Amino acid sequence: MPANKHINKRINKLVVIGVGLIGGSFALALKKARIVKQVVGVGRSRKNLQVALRLGVIDKAETDAARAVVGADLVLIGAPVGQMPGIFARIAPALPKHAVVTDAGSTKQDVIAAARRHLGAHFAQFVPAHPIAGTEHSGAGAAFPELFRDRNLILLPQKETNAAAVRLVRAAWLACGARIVRLEAAEHDEIFGAVSHLPHVVAFALVNQLAQRRDAKRLLGFSGGGLRDTVRIAGSSPEMWRDICIANRAALVPLVDGFISELEAARAALAVGDGESLEHMFRTAQKARARWLLKRK
C-alpha cells in the first residue's frame, strides 16, 4: 500500500471513540487515503456500531474505550464534548506511550482543560482539533469520506504538545482534504459561539416556538423553503448540542443577549410602524450576507 503524500508512515491502529458523522467520516477518509490499517470503533450504541461495521466504517467494534486503545497509534475522540472528561479518565491508564490522541469537539477550552486534568503526562500527546464540517444528520450511517474536503480544520496545539504528535494529526487531516488553521482556544470558542452555537440555539428555539402551538401541524404544512433552510440545523443531535452549549455558555450567554437586543430593536420598530429603521436593519444584514457569506461553501 503506498504512503499518502501527507504522511510518511501508516497508522496501524486507529481508534475512533464515538463513531458518528465526524468520527465515521474521519475513519472512511483515512481508509480511502490508505494510511490506516485497522479502525476500531468505540460507542455506547451497539446498533450504531453494527451499522459502522456493516458499512465498513470500522473493522472492529468495542464498547470499552480502555480496552480499545491498547496498541493504538492514533485515537480520535468524536463523542459529545460532555462525555470527554469521562473518556479521558477512562483511557489515560491504558494508552500506549506513543499513542497520539486528538478530538473533534466543537468547544475547545473545556476539552483542553479536561484533557489536562485527566491525561497526566500523556497530555503532551494530545492535539486538540475541531473540523468545521457537519450536516444535520447523525450516526455512522451518515458518514462519508469527503465530508472534510476543503473544510477548515482548527488545530490548537498547546505549549506542552509534542511536535511529532502535531505533525501526525495535521497529516491525517490533510489526507482528509481539510485546510489547517490555527487558533487560540478562547478565540475559537468565541468565534464558533457566534457563527455556529448561536445559530443552532436560534434554529432550535424557532422550531420550538412553532411546534408548541395547537395548530403546529397545519401551520408547518404551509411553510416553504425559507423556514426549511432557516431551521435545517434544528435537525442536529440534541445531546451533542446540549453539551456544546453548556460547555461554551460563558461565550454563548452574551451572544444570546445580544441577539435578543437585536430582536427587541426590530420589535420596537414594528410596534410603531417604523419602516425606515426596519429597512435599515434588513439592508445592513442583506449587504453583510452578500459581502461575507454568499460565496462561501
Nearest to 289 by CA among 168, 199, 180: 199
Residues 209-248 that bind a copy of itself (CB under 8 A): 209-213, 216-239, 241-243, 245-246
Residue numbers 47-86 binding a copy of itself by CB under 8 A: 82
User: Cβ of 252: how many Cβ atoms within 10 Å?
Assistant: 23
> Long-range CB contacts (< 8 A, 24+ apart) of 186-189?
186/109, 188/108, 188/109, 188/130, 188/154, 188/156, 189/107, 189/108, 189/109, 189/248, 189/250, 189/251
Least distance from C-beta 105 to a copy of itself, angstroms? Answer: 15
Among 134, 153, 156, 177, binds a copy of itself (CB under 8 A): 134
List the one residue out of 153, 172, 145 whose CA is nearest residue 74: 172
Q: How far is the CB of 152 from a copy of itself (least distance, A)?
A: 7
Find the part of the chain contacting a copy of itself (CB under 8 A) among 34-42, 71-79, 172-180, 285-293.
285-293
Among 58, 143, 174, 207, binds a copy of itself (CB under 8 A): 207
Which residue, 62 or 243, has its beta carbon nearer to a copy of itself? 243
Give the nearest distance from C-beta 179 to a copy of itself in angstroms: 11
- Asked whether position 297 contacts a copy of itself by CB under 8 A, the answer is yes
Tell me the DSSP string of 196-209: IIHHHHHHHHHHHH
Separation CA 165–CA 103 (nearest Å): 13
**DSSP conformation class of 141:** G
Site for a copy of itself in 263-282 (CB under 8 A): 263-264, 266-267, 270-271, 273, 275, 278-279, 281-282
